[in-house]
Amino acid sequence: MLTEPMSSAPLPCLADLQEPPPSSSGWLPMERAPLPGLDDEEGERLPTSLPPVVDAHVHVFPDRVFEAIWRWFDTHGWPIRYRLPASHVAQFLLSRGVHQIVALHYAHRPGMARSLNQFMAAVCADEPRIIGLATVLPGEADASRILDEAFSMGLQGVKMHCHVQCFAPDDPAMHEVYEACVRADRPLVMHAGREPKSTAYRCDTHALCSADRVARVLEAHPRLRLCVPHLGADEFDAYERLLERHDGLWLDTTMVAAGYFPVELPLRLLRCRPDRVLYGTDFPNLPYAWDREIKRLVTLGLPEEELAALLGQNALRLFAGTPPRGTSTA
Ligand SMILES: [Zn+2]
């Protein structure tokens, strides 16, 4: 389902603004990994003055997969501050005032997706405030059937990761994944931006990923609803143009709004299509406080309506099709 723009007023997109584009040259290369952990202060819970908050980018994995991922991060990424089992991940955030979370995972090898999707369905069965997404490996046998089974278990979208799963967005093997999403009217969250790259990945993320490739996907699958995490880092200008052109595209703020990587937050991307950007954190795989990103987002001076859309309403429209209870539709 596509949503209407929140206001009929002209939106401040790239072509309308005179300020220079934000620089992407300060992106901290993961070659210098492990990057430092921050000992920043964490809040006890979200302020009650905030509109309903949905964290649209939270990871849950079975314990052994989480432990393998954390070992990878220890060496090649950053120290993980919240080493919580999946059963505690959602409760940590929900007990601190987050209204709902979107839970993501991804398969690293063929043959993993079915059991991961069953695990995710079980996690969601225990807590209705979790919106769980499915995964599959592009090109693995039965890929579209794996997704159909996951949707029938109640999973509400798909998560893919070009870097970890080593595929290009316009890889022909992705066609059946896109078609499965369109057929079932489920959104796809796909890490299709080229950063943060790492030599520890089995593939060159700059060779695989580009906004141009994502544009080809959106053009070939006009009914696909696609969310690209990390505001499409680091091709912020190109993703701004894609947002202007494609009603099937969403972005999430994950880690780019936290001030951890030395890149300027591309504020225009948040404001260009305020109905198209979701708040997300990457919790629990963070090197800083769980609420660092939202603390920064609320100080940007966004209009109240745009902040409510960013922090929760856009995610619920994308994943659940409904605004949070107790709030009016923007
Ligand atoms: Zn993530």
What is the tens place of the pLDDT at every residue in 28-60?
Answer: 556 677 888 999 999 999 999 999 999 999 999
Residue 209, pLDDT > 60, answer yes
Question: What top-level class would CATH report for the domain 47-320?
Answer: alpha beta
**What whole-number distance in Å separates Cα of residue 163 and Cα of residue 281?**
18
Neighbours of 70 (CB within 10 A): 16
Q: What is the 101 CA–ligand 1 centroid distance (Å)? A: 13
Q: What is the 282 CA–ligand 1 centroid distance (Å)? A: 5
The pLDDT assigned to 34 comes to: 84
Q: What is the 8 CA–ligand 1 centroid distance (Å)? A: 33
Q: What is the 302 CA–ligand 1 centroid distance (Å)? A: 25
Q: Which residues contact 173 (CB under 8 A, 6 or more apart)?
A: 138, 139, 143, 167
Per-residue confidence band for 322, with pLDDT thresholds at 50, 70 and 90: very low
Q: What is the 17 CA–ligand 1 centroid distance (Å)? A: 31
Q: What is the 256 CA–ligand 1 centroid distance (Å)? A: 12
Beta carbons of 120 and 103 less than 8 angstroms apart = yes
Residue 74 to residues 61, 97, 159, 297, Cα–Cα distance (Å)? 17, 29, 23, 27
Q: What is the 329 CA–ligand 1 centroid distance (Å)? A: 28
Q: What is the 230 CA–ligand 1 centroid distance (Å)? A: 9
What is the tens place of the pLDDT at every residue in 250-268?
Answer: 999 999 999 998 888 999 9
Q: What is the DSSP letter of 292?
A: H
Q: Which of 279, 271, 291, 272 is nearest to 318 (CA)?
A: 279
Q: What is the 187 CA–ligand 1 centroid distance (Å)? A: 16
> Domain locations in the chain?
47-320
Quote the tokens at residue 323: 């605004």
The pLDDT mean for the chain works out to 87
Q: What is the 7 CA–ligand 1 centroid distance (Å)? A: 30
Beta carbons of 53 and 295 less than 8 angstroms apart = no
Q: What is the 286 CA–ligand 1 centroid distance (Å)? A: 10
**What whole-number distance in Å separates Cα of residue 319 and Cα of residue 188?**
9
What is the tens place of the pLDDT at every residue in 63-117?
Answer: 999 999 999 889 888 999 999 999 999 999 999 999 999 999 999 899 999 999 9
The pLDDT assigned to 27 comes to: 56
Q: What is the 15 CA–ligand 1 centroid distance (Å)? A: 30
Residue 72 to residues 87, 145, 164, 201, Cα–Cα distance (Å)? 21, 30, 11, 10
